[in-house]
Amino acid sequence: MVFLLADMSWNVLISPDQLSSKGLLLRKSILVRLLEDIANRKASKEHGYYIAVNELKEISEGKVRELTGDVLFPVTFTCITLKPMKGEILVGSVEKILKHGVFLKSGPIENVFLSEKTMNDYKYIGGENPMFMKDHSKLEKDTVLRFKAMGFRWMEADRQFQLLATLAGDFLGPL
């Protein structure tokens, strides 16, 4: 996956009970709230998955909201993000096996689908522990494998990407 360093702007909302006249405590409250907001947001179509806040560049002057007393602080910072790219070689583990393909998880990406049509001669074997087999190689639950991303789609409702994968290519498959 491609790690990116993104310059970002965010509005951090601090409630009155978290405000302090001491600068360091206020800065800590803003930083903690920013980290919570980033963790809850998870990802964006533009930047990919948010991995870590790298540097807090500036905290602008806060604006008080009249009805609630909350203070809104515009913040600029750099964030390490991770965004999937078409054609990229990734490593993931098998989460679920179905007759028509396999669902994988790769890092923060929880929806990677590997269709049986792109598995190069692997055959489905059903039963209590379903798997795909090819010669002496098998894909079963928790198998770690290397795959290629054929394409991806952003799902706004889930705030995550869905990937379509293939095993067609050199050095792809179970590790």
On whether both 51 and 105 belong to a single domain, the answer is no
What's the CATH code of the domain at 51? Answer: 3.30.1490.120
Domain boundary residue among 82, 112, 140? 82
CA distance 115 to 165: 7
> How many Å apart are CA 157 and CA 128, to the nearest integer?
33
Closest to 113 (Cα-Cα) out of 142, 83, 147: 147
Q: How confident is the model at residue 16 (pLDDT cuts 50, 70, 90)?
A: confident
Regarding whether 170 and 104 lie in a shared domain, the answer is: yes
Domain end residue (candidates: 54, 82, 110): 82
Q: What is the pLDDT of residues 17-43, one digit of tens each?
A: 777 666 667 888 889 999 999 999 999
- Look up residue 107 and give its two tokens: 């890092």
Number of domains in the chain: 2
Q: Are residues 74 and 134 in the same domain?
A: no
Q: Do 169 and 105 belong together in one domain?
A: yes
pLDDT in tens, 130-153: 999 998 889 999 999 999 999 999
> Residues 74, 122: one domain?
no
pTM score: 0.82
| pLDDT surpassing 90 at residue 12 | yes
- Structural domain boundaries, residue 103: 88-174
Q: How far is CA 38 from the centre of its chain?
A: 12
Average predicted confidence (pLDDT) for the chain: 91
